[in-house]
Amino acid sequence: MSAQTQTWTPSSWRTKPVAQDVEYPDQNALGKVLNKISSLPPMVTPSEIERLRHQLSAVQRGEAFLLHAGDCAESFDACTHENISSKIGLILSFSLILIWGARLPVVRVGRIAGQYAKPRSSNWEKVDGREVLSFRGDNVNGLDPNDRTPDPERLLSAYFHSTTTLNYIRGLLTSGFASLHHPRDWSLGHVRSVALRAEFEKIVDGLSDALDFARTIGVESERPYEQGGGRGSLGEVDFYTRWVFAVLGLMLAYEEALTREFAVPSGNPTTPGAPRFAQPARRSASKKHHYNTGAHFIWIGDRTRQLDHGHVEYFRGIRNPIGVKVGPTMGEGELVGLLDVVNPDKEAGRVTLITRYGAKKIDSHLEGHIRAVQKSGHPVVWVCDPMHGNTHTASSGLKTRDFAAIIEEITACLRIHTSVGSRMGGVSLEFTGELNDEGYSVTECVGGSMGLSEEELSLRYASFCDPRLNFEQSLDVAFMLSEHYKK
């Protein structure tokens, strides 16, 4: 039976082979945890998910820019007030630079509030001379080599760490943290580079002037949120509504437990605040869909995108907008075949292709992929991930990425899209605003305006997963993109 004709259910993926599957020794304990998760409330609502579909259609039409960013993998220990606010502050600063230069709204898709799973190239790894199961992320096992047996209780813990993170972010955003009236609160203090600080200050001053002007001529009729203004006040609407939470959909049993059937929410999805909450399907007679309620946007990794496997089967049935990682091993026919399965009705805003070839390989793959998709008539958002194809091991043994290669891949991506009449709609970055106790940024990627060398990597290397751009290096990318789109 072809994928399209087989009946889909939240558990139909179980009939297929599953890449990156985790073997739990205690199936009974796993069942109990999954039952519990399936009775807990949704983390995000169908209304928010529907709104995102519209926002992504706007990105596709060139009316907005997509920023997908955050940690490679979050850890339970890093779920702290400081880490969450510095990450949100960095995403806001990055967006402000882009909006200011490109004059385009930014749809912010945070790799946050549930990004705990980690795909691995091998089930086993050698630690201090002994073979142990690989670390698969905090939702599966522990980083400590003595804690590698998959423990289902970690899934429950992932649910609660995700909801705690979401609760704090939603609180931050509704109490004025995102207000355009004080971007200096978004941790500009992190930026030590004088030139970068000056550039950012220039934007903030320009923004203050613009807000003053708007207030004077009466455009801003409402007071800022923190002064009792409504959600419609200037500086709030865009920043408040364009927040999205995204995770790599890797652990299918967990995703299944978070999948719920709802009637499609009614109302105008482009208006903040409307539509209202969807009603659970059993109480409504209108069209029903299954939503993954663990994140607004979930994506399929480069290692789990096999057409006849479980991940594609699960993803094809959910209503959420989805991402698909596209690397150099993806064939052109295979890419179109995948789009036919996950988006048979060619709906706008449904699929985002996140390309990640590496600076050396993008020239031989991207154009063919774009042309094949153009010919198929599939509407997609194209996003450049300049991180995952540019990872290498430094002589010290630390995993790193070269800032120059990251810029090279973004530049090539912009050029190739333009040359074939397509558009790069956004970027997917692994970055962090995290600081150590002395207030210094992490040192995981080499280069950037701070000129980080390989020898300096070990100074403050904090990632237990892929190397991330630090605050300054991220703003460097933001300024480069902002300059490009200004033209």
Are 200 and 257 contacting, i.e. CB atoms less than 8 angstroms apart? Answer: no
Query: Which of 50, 138, 236, 302 touches ligand PEP by CB under 6 A?
Result: 302
Query: Which of 136, 356, 365, 378 touches ligand PEP by CB under 6 A?
Result: 356
What sign results for the dihedral spanned by CA atoms 19, 22, 28, 31?
negative
Comparing CB distances to Mn ion, the nearer of 466 and 476 is 466
Residue with tokens 């940690």: 71
Query: Which of 19, 75, 119, 157 touches ligand PEP by CB under 6 A?
Result: 119
Query: Is 476 assigned to a binding site?
Result: no
Q: Is 468 in the site for ligand PEP (CB under 6 A)?
A: no
Are 296 and 321 contacting, i.e. CB atoms less than 8 angstroms apart? Answer: yes
Q: Is 48 in the site for Mn ion (CB under 5 A)?
A: no
Q: Which partner from the list ligand PEP, Mn ion, none does 302 bind, CB cut-off 5 to 8 Å by kind? A: ligand PEP
Q: Which partner from the list ligand PEP, Mn ion, none does 301 bind, CB cut-off 5 to 8 Å by kind? A: ligand PEP
Comparing CB distances to ligand PEP, the nearer of 137 and 447 is 137
CA-to-CA separations, 429 to 272, 303, 476, in angstroms, rounded: 27, 18, 13
Shortest Cβ 85–ligand PEP spacing (Å): 23
* Choices 54-62, 71-79, 188-196, 337-345 (CB under 5 A): range interacting with Mn ion: 71-79
Comparing CB distances to ligand PEP, the nearer of 37 and 72 is 72
Query: Is 388 assigned to a binding site?
Result: yes
Are 370 and 422 contacting, i.e. CB atoms less than 8 angstroms apart? Answer: yes
Binding mask 79-118 for ligand PEP (x = CB under 6 A): ----------------------------------------
In the chain, what is the straight-line distance between the N-terminal and C-terminal CA atoms, in Å? 50
Comparing CB distances to ligand PEP, the nearer of 14 and 303 is 303
Q: Is the peptide bond before 17 cis (omega within 30 degrees of 0)?
A: no
Q: Is 72 in the site for Mn ion (CB under 5 A)?
A: yes
* Euclidean distance between CA atoms 226 and 57, whole angstroms: 31
* Footprint on residues 100-129 left by Mn ion (CB under 5 A): none
- Tokens of residue 432, six digits: 């962090």
Residue number of the CB closest to ligand PEP reads 301
Q: Is 190 in the site for ligand PEP (CB under 6 A)?
A: no
* Euclidean distance between CA atoms 464 and 115, whole angstroms: 13
Q: Which partner from the list Mn ion, ligand PEP, none does 203 bind, CB cut-off 5 to 8 Å by kind? A: none
CA-to-CA separations, 203 to 94, 157, 206, 209, 253, in angstroms, rounded: 12, 41, 5, 10, 46
Are 305 and 338 contacting, i.e. CB atoms less than 8 angstroms apart? Answer: yes
* Footprint on residues 403-462 left by ligand PEP (CB under 6 A): none
* Choices 125-133, 270-278, 295-303, 472-480 (CB under 6 A): range interacting with ligand PEP: 295-303
Shortest Cβ 464–ligand PEP spacing (Å): 13
Size of the site for ligand PEP (CB under 6 A): 9
* Choices 12-20, 286-294, 299-307, 360-368 (CB under 6 A): range interacting with ligand PEP: 299-307
Are 86 and 435 contacting, i.e. CB atoms less than 8 angstroms apart? Answer: yes
What sign results for the dihedral spanned by CA atoms 191, 194, 199, 201?
positive
Query: Is 367 assigned to a binding site?
Result: no
Q: Is 388 in the site for ligand PEP (CB under 6 A)?
A: yes
CB atoms inside a 10 Å sphere around CB 17: 11
Binding mask 204-243 for ligand PEP (x = CB under 6 A): ----------------------------------------
Q: Is 466 in the site for Mn ion (CB under 5 A)?
A: yes
Comparing CB distances to Mn ion, the nearer of 72 and 326 is 72
Q: Is 325 in the site for ligand PEP (CB under 6 A)?
A: yes
Q: Is 301 in the site for ligand PEP (CB under 6 A)?
A: yes
Q: Which amino acid is it at 13? A: W
List residues binding ligand PEP (CB under 6 A).
72, 119, 248, 301-303, 325, 356, 388
Residue ranges of the annotated binding site for Mn(2+) are 72, 388, 430, 466
Residue ranges of the annotated binding site for phosphoenolpyruvate are 111, 325, 356
List residues binding Mn ion (CB under 5 A).
72, 466
